[in-house]
Amino acid sequence: MMMEAVSYLQINFLGILFLFGCNFIGTIFRTLGNSKTPLYFVSLAVVLNTVLDPLFIHTFQWGIDGAAYATVAAQGAAFLYGLIVSIRLFITNPGAVSFWRRIYHDHFFFLSVLGD
């Protein structure tokens, strides 16, 4: 049982960047006053995970590893959807680029201060 838990966590940690990216993009949208779009990101991840879990666990007979792969796939899909929506925002709203530039600059300034 312990080996299965270790395997599950190792696979799940592969998707941590997807989870971080999706949450970061969602936070930016909520900062801009748009709370619906991040809800769509999370809804996509939940629905996709719900569909993929039984498929990977029972149909492909991957067991616990299948649950982890389903979670990573769902997080990855939500992150990609978030990127697509963000890029479309850039194309349709040139003012958003300056906002993102400011966010980028402020975050790296903050990180550089922490690094000193």
- Only one residue has tokens 């530039």, namely 101
The answer, yes or no, to whether residue 97 has pLDDT greater than 60, is yes
Instruction: Please name the residue ranges forming H helices in the chain.
Output: 2-14, 16-31, 36-54, 63-92, 95-115
Band (53; pLDDT cuts 50, 70, 90): very high
Query: What pLDDT shows up at residue 91?
Result: 78
Report, as an integer, the average pLDDT of 45-64.
Answer: 97
- Burial (Cβ within 10 Å: 0-12, 13-18, ≥19) of residue 63: middle
Q: Which of 7-16, 22-31, 37-46, 63-72 shows the lowest mean pLDDT across its residues?
A: 22-31
Q: What integer is the mean pLDDT of 26-38?
A: 89
Residue 116 has pLDDT above 60, yes or no: no
Specify the pTM.
Answer: 0.80
